[in-house]
Every structure is written in C-alpha cells, then in structure tokens.
Amino acid sequence: MSFPSVWARPPKRKRDQPSLSREQIVAAAIELLDTEGIDALSMRKLGMRLDVAAASMYTHVASKDELVELVVDEIYGEVALPEAGPWRAAAPRFAHDLRSVFLRHPWIASLLGETGVAYLGPNVLRLSEAALTLFEDAGFSLEDADLAWNTVMAYVVGRATSEAAWLSTLTRSGLGEQEWKDRLWPTAEQAVRDHPRLKKLYAARRNRKPGEINSSDFANGLECVLDGLASKLP
C-alpha cells in the first residue's frame, strides 16, 4: 500500500492525461481560496469553477487531502529563495518575504495542520536546500544549519499564522482593522482593569495601528531569534 500523499503517487503518463492539468486545478483552488476563503474549498465547488466534473480532477488529484498538499506547496513556491551572502542580511529578507506570502493568502493558516507530508513538496524542498546552504556557508554545521532553518521557520510561521487568522477574522466581520480595534477597545480595557502590566501595555498601544504593531513586533522578535542562533556559531 502506498503512502497517502500526492508526493508518493507517480504522475500520470502524458498520453494518459486529459486536457485538464494539475497546474490548472491548483491555480483554480488558490483563486477560490483567495476570493471565497477556506470554507469554500471543496472538490465539487472547484469542479464548478473549472467547469468540469469532479471525476476529471481525480486523474491528477485523488482527494482533497492531496489538493491541500499541492496548494500549500504552491504557496511556498511564491517565497523567494534565501540569497547567498551574509546570513544576517539574507535570513531577515527571507523571513519577511515568507510572512508577506502568508498574509497575502491568510487562509493558509487554516490549512497548515492538514498538509500531510508537505515538506516533501518540490517548492518546500528547494526552499529548505537553499536555507541549509545559507546557514552552512555561514559556518554552522549541517545539523546546526537544520536547527537554524527550522527555528526561523517556526518563528515566522507561528507569527504569520496568528496574523493571518486575525486578517481572516476581519474579512468575515466586514470591518477594517481600525474600526475593529475601536469597537473592541472598551471591552479590552474593562477586561485588563485588574492586570496592571497588561493595562499599561494596552494603553501604550491604544493609538498605534494594528498593522504597525504587528510589523514592528515581528521584526524585533526575529532579531532576537537570529541573535540566539548566532550563539551557535563556532
């Protein structure tokens, strides 16, 4: 029995392939997710968007789980590969680019827990190889380069997932960031009234835009992560 992943299933031979391609299916799925959100993703709805029967898609994508693997890998393909050069300059550029991709497709946060073996996708593999090269060239051992890469990924994905979930909530509410903040503020202020540190922190951020706070916190936290990784260098 083969492993249940699209990466474990050999592609159909070209002469067996219908006019509909895997690339078309994945592109349509991403378009559907971008316009209608995570709840809209289904093989039936995707077939309607492509104007084909679901059976036509199963030639390339055997299940929704396989579709999710393909979609997630395609999104990672939008991330620029880490550039060669000083790692303390290249790593932040990569991290900020990955964050921007997640925020461009905020539904990705809801799919990451369903991606099976997404780390075997071709785009993820290319990204990982480039990152390992960057860190190894900087002087990390291969094992420490792997640790550095996974640590940066964990930080970026964790932060970006929270931000993406926030953007999805805003979209569902139909409100802008500032309008949401203004409506929520009285409730938040009341909730923290008995917690002096939180009360002080909330008050300091009262007049700052949510997007500005997120970007600043992301950059500052990333520097802390990279400072920690630097201590692993010989």
Domains of the chain, each with CATH number or no CATH: 6-75 (1.10.10.60), 81-230 (1.10.357.10)
Read off φ and ψ for residue 233, nearest 5 degrees: -70, 145
Distance set, CA 33 to CA 38, 55, 157, 201, 213 (Å): 6, 21, 19, 36, 27
Q: Which residue has the higher pLDDT, 198 or 171?
A: 198
Decide if pLDDT at 18 tops 70: no
Which range, 31-40, 51-60, 217-226, has the best average confidence (pLDDT)?
217-226
> CA 132 to CA 147: how far, in whole Å?
9
Return the percentage of the chain with pLDDT > 90, whole number: 45
Read off the pLDDT band of 110 (50, 70, 90).
confident
At residue 206, φ and ψ (nearest 5 deg) are -55, -45
Q: Provide CB contacts within 8 A for 86, sequence distance 6+.
A: 138
The pLDDT-based confidence of 34 (bands split at 50, 70, 90) is: very high
Helix (H, G, I), strand (E, B) or coil at 229: helix
The average pLDDT across 169-181 equals: 82
d(CA 174, CA 122): 36
pLDDT at 96: 95
Q: What is the pTM of this model?
A: 0.82
Supply the mean pLDDT for the chain: 86
Quote the pLDDT of residue 17.
47
Q: How far, in Å, CA of 173 to CA of 183, rounded?
A: 12
